Amino acid sequence: MIKRILTGDRPTGQLHLGHYVGSLQNRVKLQHEYDTYVLIADVQALTDNFEHPEMLEANIFEVALDYLAVGIDPEKTKIVVQSMVPELAELTIYFMNLVTVATLERNPTVKEEIKQRNFVKGVPVGFWSYPISQAADITIFKADLVPVGEDQLPMIEQAREIVRRFNRLYAKVLIEPKAMLGAMARLPGTDGGAKMSKSLGNCIYLGDSPETVRKRVMSMFTDPKRIHPTDPGTVEGNPVFTYHDVFNPDKGEVEELKERYRKGTVGDVEVKQRLYDALNHFLTPIRERRAEYAANPKRVYEIIMEGTRRGRELARATMEEVRTAMKIGYRFG
Ligand code: ATP
Ligand code: MG
């Protein structure tokens, strides 16, 4: 039987280079071998944006554009809007009984995100428990494989635990999913921060114009100890070189730049200029495809609606099995 992929993104903004190397690249590559579902997780986005629900609608469109731009093939991949599959909310409620408060409190990614978000009125239960709803997202589609960035590993582990408990308690209905990391498990931000993230404003977006990409590259964080281009510099942990390693296909050029950087015979400006060229080369076809789809919103919405219809069909079928396994598939009268 053909195996299935489920993964997704929160419509909190456009997608960026981190999404590409962390997850999108694998989705594009594997969509021909796997039955692929990609979830635009608007319900999860609400958990820390509930005061601004009005931004979701436009961002769902932007994320769909990014998918199509990087080569997600709508003939292969089903693009599904989370809130339009209400069965996900139902499964989340059942899963809540299978997770302890202590387990949720130990989730290192959620802990870190809570710190970053600095919720002034306390941590919303919805945010704190989003790993449970994410487990429902993955399992309702009976996914075998989940292409994600490193920050999502605790979520996949949580989903696996829930599946094991569910299958042991009720019946073997659900599939234990496996995480699949991308070429770069965690792309750093342009500010040198640990993770490029929409919520941190340290991103290069897939849809950025050449001028914007140039500005972002030229203002990137480099080796803070290096003041003059003649100072020997550090390559390791320097985000400009991390990006070169990932996005510059000319490995000879990258090696040469690293050597000169270490010796102090190349300036930051030149290293960044070459990075800009490589990035622009990578982003140009993506930008063009994005613009083509953006000019045809009707087609984009058709793709979303068809993907969601197929996703919901699958979700309904799983829920029939789930209710039967739990002995709550009542047939009164
Ligand atoms: P937000 O700040 O709103 O949470 P985000 O940038 O973290 O946004 P998500 O939609 O939460 O993006 O993540 C979608 C997917 O992209 C996840 O699989 C996540 O692991 C992956 N991802 C996001 N940022 C990176 C990154 N910098 N490096 C690698 N993978 C990433
Ligand atoms: Mg995130």
**pTM to 2 decimal places:** 0.95
pLDDT at 163: 98
* Residue ranges of domains in the chain, CATH in brackets: 4-187+297-326 (3.40.50.620), 207-291 (1.10.240.10)
Cα distance between the two ends of the chain: 37
The C-alpha atoms of residue 256 and residue 248 are separated, in whole angstroms, by 12
Burial of 41 (0-12, 13-18, 19+ CB in 10 A): buried
Q: Which of 180, 120, 167 is nearest to 139 (CA)?
A: 167
Q: H or E element: which one contains 78?
A: strand 77-81
User: Do 31 and 74 contact (CB within 8 A), yes or no?
Assistant: no
Whether 93 has a pLDDT exceeding 90, the answer reads yes
> What is the per-residue pLDDT for 333?
82
- Looking at ligand 1, which residue's alpha carbon is closest to its atom 18? 148
Q: pLDDT for 131-146, tens place per residue?
A: 999 999 999 999 999 9
What is the C-alpha separation between 187 and 18, in angstroms, rounded?
A: 5
Average pLDDT of the residues in 163-189:
96
pLDDT bin (cut points 50, 70, 90) of residue 1 is confident
Report residue 10's pLDDT band, with 50, 70 and 90 as the boundaries.
very high
pLDDT greater than 80 at residue 199: no
Cα 274 to ligand 2 centroid, rounded to whole Å: 29
Query: From the CA of 150, how far away is ligand 1's center (Å)?
Result: 9
Going by their DSSP bridges, the two strands 4-9 and 35-40 should be labelled as: parallel
Cβ neighbour number for residue 214 with a 10 Å cutoff: 17
Ligand 1 atom index nearest CA of 113:
4
Give the Å distance between the CA of 20 and the centre of ligand 1.
9
For ligand 1, atom 19: residue with the closest CA: 149
Closest ligand to 23 CA? 1
Rounded to the nearest angstrom, the distance between the alpha carbon of 197 and the centre of ligand 1 is: 6
Give residues (CB < 6 A) around ligand 1.
9-10, 12, 18-19, 22-23, 148-149, 151-152, 184, 186-187, 195-199
- Say how many C-beta atoms besides its own lie within 10 A of residue 227's C-beta: 8
Residue pLDDT, tens place only, 38-55: 999 999 999 999 999 999
